[in-house]
Chains A and B, each alone.
Chain A
Amino acid sequence: MPAALVHRATRASRVAGVAAIVAVLVLASLPAWADPSTLRLFVEFACLLALAQMWNLLAGYGGLVSVGQQGYLGVGGYALVAAADLGGLNPFLCVPLAGAVAALVAVPTSRIVFRLQGGYFAIGTWVVAESLRLVASNTAAVGGGTGTSLISIREFPKALRESVTFWIALAVAVGAVAALYWLLRSRHGLALAAIRDSERAAASQGVDIAATKFWVYVIAAFGCGVVGALYFLVNLRISPDAAFGVSWTAFVIFIVVIGGIGTIEGPIIGTLLFFVLRETLADFGTWYLIVLGLVAVVVMVRFPRGLWGYVAERFDLHLFPVRRRVSAGDT
């Protein structure tokens, strides 16, 4: 009897891997030949993609459904404005700093919100986000309810500003996907999958549930903080509603509904489809949102694992394989 082989790569994944590297190289060259509006669009794409991957990490792998990640996004955005305008730091260097600030806020917050479970945990995170929004609204130094603008960025020439922001966005997008991929292929990923499947069984195998959830929550907060800083690096005008609005989560939820969670390619596909939908329905105002909502409801009832999740299971298509497969002999 041939020995069983454990392997991870599939034919589809090798093709996808090569395609991804080529795509990243092509994208890196964009500032040289694309126009500013395209660069901006990509930055927004990167923001939502990274946000979706953070949500994926939390909900898909950590079992934590948060409707309040916009809180950390807002913290990141305001940290950027405060550190760059008030603190005089280089705005580009403030991006990772903003992530760190968000992560720091997440540490004590986790102690509170982890008291709750399931749907109530979700709303609890929303309360935290709302509280942060209200604090920002009441802080005159950053413009209170009407917000303020990022001024220190104007010291840099426009072309340089756009290029550097674009490359940061590319790094954030690639980084989010890569970090998730690396994390999940490691033993931490196995631990997360074990927790998601059965907390009690995982605990009995020595997995520290509380610590794992804590780190997942803090890392996700860091990611959202970085996204917040990146977004306002491009948009320049920050306000409590823009930074802490729950529409961020609404868009991510839509992406997750389409792309499914628990896979790495799911959020990528979901974000792509979201942007396609957004560009085509842009003129229809509220109807665009009604369509989003309807799609979310219909898809979730019919395909609980998201559209991509359904397709992936049906056709056994895994572009970013994380699971190990056992086969007898070769491939």
Chain B
Amino acid sequence: MIGWIDTLLQGLLLGGLYALFAVGLSLMFGVMRLVNIAHGDFIVLAAFLAIGIALGVPAGPALLLAMVLPVMVVAGYGLQRGVLNRTLGKDILPPLLVTFGLSIIIQNVLLEVFSADSRGLSAGGLETQSLRIAGDLAIGWLPLITLLAALGLTFALEWLFGHTTLGRAFRATSDDPQAAELQGIDHRRVYALATAIAFAVVTVAGVFLALRTTVSPSDGPGYLLYAFEAVILGGLGSFWGTFAGALVLGVAQGIGFRLDPGWGILVGHLVFLAVLLVRPQGLFPRTRD
């Protein structure tokens, strides 16, 4: 019994990391209907930027995060403005092909620079410390902080969308870009801001990922799939839905791993496919379309 509760807890904590992955993807899709196939690769890129800096500069994770954030945010804004904005339109193929191309570029550039070895970040001992709950049950501090960070970011994004002028502009542009233009909203700038914010979330995800486990250049696509599954499981239209979907995925994988180490990820996929079959709108949809 304790074993299953432990599995549940670890699954929820894993879900916290997946929520960090998923929320950025949800943001980009929510505002501009863009599915960024390189999303996972950008998380890995952010992780390697932090790892790369850490190789030369003795800095703790918080400082590394502070250093990588501006780089990624500016890169996201520039990418959207310079490249992705030009691909958005009625045809769904160009943005998919372009982001797929970006995925290949990032993976192979990282491979060239860092080789195929997997590397990680040190949290100065925090990785091994845990919080004792009851009896034999313990939660790692790092996974807990990850979950809390995900919670905080989800709350912040919901608040941004619901209560700020920019959030209103996001929602309006997402509903009807042309009518939004008629209110003076330059959709190219709005899209670029959305991507910049998404990349900020991606950076946080990348740093927490590198703290928790080792990362290798070709890990990106796997993380894209988890992020995507979390978004669909949760239902489109709300960040809390995505957060919940991520938790469900984490628990599903946790149960899978417990049954057989080779089955962990597969169980996650199967749960996703099953939910898609019987409840395609997701578990907690808030449809706005």
Q: Check whether chain A touches chain B (CB < 8 angstroms).
A: yes
Q: Which of A276-331 contact B (CB under 8 A)?
A: 286-287, 289-290, 292-297, 300-301, 304
Contact A127 B269 (CB under 8 A): yes
Binary contact track B221-239/A, C-beta < 8 Å → 1, others 0: 1001100110010000000
A79-87, A108-116, A187-195, A219-227 - interface stretch: A108-116
Contact B111 A138 (CB under 8 A): no
The reply to whether the CB of A137 lies closer than 8 angstroms to some CB of chain B is yes
Binary contact track B83-109/A, C-beta < 8 Å → 1, others 0: 100110101111111101111110111
CA–CA, A300 to B89, complex, Å? 13
Which residue of B105, B224, B273 is within 8 Å of A112 (Cβ)?
B273
Contact A138 B266 (CB under 8 A): yes
Please indicate the chain A residues that have their CB under 8 angstroms from the CB of B109 in the complex: 286, 290
Please indicate the chain A residues that have their CB under 8 angstroms from the CB of B277 in the complex: 111-112, 115
Most central of A65, A122, A301 by chain B CB within 10 Å: A301
* Chain B contact residues, majority secondary structure: helix
Q: Which of A213-268 contact B (CB under 8 A)?
A: 246, 249-250, 253, 256-257, 261
Which residue of B96, B101, B221, B225 is within 8 Å of A293 (Cβ)?
B101
Contacts A123-B228, A253-B97, A301-B98; is A65 near B37 (CB within 8 Å)?
A: no
Please indicate the chain A residues that have their CB under 8 angstroms from the CB of B265 in the complex: 130, 134
Which residue of A111, A116, A126, A297 is within 8 Å of B98 (Cβ)?
A297
Which residue of B89, B112, B229 is within 8 Å of A287 (Cβ)?
B112
Contact B276 A301 (CB under 8 A): no
The reply to whether the CB of B263 lies closer than 8 angstroms to some CB of chain A is yes
The reply to whether the CB of B35 lies closer than 8 angstroms to some CB of chain A is yes
The reply to whether the CB of A119 lies closer than 8 angstroms to some CB of chain B is yes
Please indicate the chain B residues that have their CB under 8 angstroms from the CB of A116 in the complex: 232, 276, 280
Binary contact track B30-55/A, C-beta < 8 Å → 1, others 0: 00011101000000000000000000
Contacts A112-B277, A289-B108; is A65 near B96 (CB within 8 Å)?
A: yes
CA–CA, A134 to B101, complex, Å? 25
Please indicate the chain A residues that have their CB under 8 angstroms from the CB of B225 in the complex: 123, 126-127, 130
Contacts A119-B96, A127-B225; is A297 near B273 (CB within 8 Å)?
A: no
Contact B266 A135 (CB under 8 A): yes
Which residue of B33, B101, B108 is within 8 Å of A286 (Cβ)?
B108
Contact B272 A127 (CB under 8 A): yes
| CB of B92, distance to nearest CB on chain A (Å) | 5
CA–CA, A290 to B104, complex, Å? 7
A-B interface pairs (CB < 8 A), number = 133
Which residue of A59, A253, A293 is within 8 Å of B105 (Cβ)?
A293
Contact B87 A290 (CB under 8 A): no
Which residue of A128, A134, A297 is within 8 Å of B102 (Cβ)?
A297
CA–CA, A112 to B111, complex, Å? 35
Contacts A123-B224, A297-B83; is A118 near B104 (CB within 8 Å)?
A: no
Most central of B107, B260, B266, B280 by chain A CB within 10 Å: B266
Q: How many residues of B contact A (CB 8 A)?
A: 46
The reply to whether the CB of A67 lies closer than 8 angstroms to some CB of chain B is yes
Please indicate the chain A residues that have their CB under 8 angstroms from the CB of B83 in the complex: 297, 301
CA–CA, A290 to B102, complex, Å? 9
Contact B87 A304 (CB under 8 A): yes
Contact B276 A296 (CB under 8 A): no
Query: Across the two chains, which residue of chain A brings its CB closest to B280?
Result: A115
Q: Which of A97-125 contact B (CB under 8 A)?
A: 111-113, 115-116, 118-120, 122-124
Q: How many residues of A contact B (CB 8 A)?
A: 44
Contact A286 B35 (CB under 8 A): no
Which residue of B35, B94, B224, B273 is within 8 Å of A131 (Cβ)?
B273
| CB of A111, distance to nearest CB on chain B (Å) | 7
The reply to whether the CB of B148 lies closer than 8 angstroms to some CB of chain A is no
Please indicate the chain A residues that have their CB under 8 angstroms from the CB of B156 in the complex: none
| CB of B278, distance to nearest CB on chain A (Å) | 10
Contact B266 A304 (CB under 8 A): no
Contacts A126-B225, A294-B101; is A120 near B35 (CB within 8 Å)?
A: yes
Query: Across the two chains, which residue of chain B brings its CB closest to A286?
Result: B108
Please indicate the chain B residues that have their CB under 8 angstroms from the CB of A304 in the complex: 87, 89, 91, 93-94
| CB of A174, distance to nearest CB on chain B (Å) | 27
Query: Across the two chains, which residue of chain A brings its CB closest to B97?
Result: A300
CA–CA, A120 to B272, complex, Å? 13
Which residue of B37, B98, B104, B269 is within 8 Å of A67 (Cβ)?
B37
Contact B95 A119 (CB under 8 A): yes
Contact A289 B104 (CB under 8 A): yes
Binary contact track B59-90/A, C-beta < 8 Å → 1, others 0: 00000000000000000000000010011010
15 example contacts (A-B, Cβ-Cβ < 8 A) are as follows A116-B280, A118-B35, A119-B96, A120-B232, A123-B228, A124-B228, A127-B229, A253-B101, A257-B101, A289-B108, A290-B109, A296-B100, A297-B98, A297-B101, A300-B98
Q: Show the binding face of B for A, using Cβ within 8 Å.
A: 29, 33-35, 37, 83, 86-87, 89, 91-98, 100-105, 107-109, 111-112, 221, 224-225, 228-229, 232, 260, 262-263, 265-266, 269-270, 272-273, 276-277, 280
Given contacts A289-B104, A296-B97, 4 further A-B contacts (CB under 8 A): A293-B103, A294-B101, A301-B94, A304-B89
Nearest 9 pairs between A and B by C-beta? A119-B35, A296-B101, A293-B104, A293-B105, A115-B280, A134-B266, A297-B101, A286-B108, A293-B101
Q: Show the binding face of A for B, using Cβ within 8 Å.
A: 59, 65, 67, 111-113, 115-116, 118-120, 122-124, 126-128, 130-131, 134-135, 137-138, 145, 246, 249-250, 253, 256-257, 261, 286-287, 289-290, 292-297, 300-301, 304
